Amino acid sequence: MQIKILGPGCANCTKLEKETAKAVAKLGIDATIEKVTDFGDIAAYGVMKTPGLVIDEEVVASGRVPTASKIAELLRGRA
């Protein structure tokens, strides 16, 4: 599973990365978490408010930081 955190590296972007890592660990799934900081790449996903969360090339959240539990729900449906 490929997970991308879209954002310039702000506090919310860092928090989203941590929450995502918690969810991946909790589920014990094999996933790669990548940070995308280039604004052109972020805009290519249609994300205008960061942070953004992309799972297997599908934007599942933007402009907010979901909890680890909510991220786990999103991941569970795709694992």
Terminal CA-to-CA distance of the chain, rounded, Å?
8
Which is catalytic among the residues 3, 6, 13, 75?
13
What is the C-alpha separation between 77 and 16, in angstroms, rounded? 19
Q: Is 13 a catalytic residue?
A: yes
10 is catalytic: yes
What sections of the chain are H helices per DSSP?
A: 11-27, 39-44, 68-76
Beta-bridge partner residues of 61: 53
Q: Which of 2, 10, 15, 38 is catalytic?
A: 10
Q: Catalytic residue numbers?
A: 10, 13
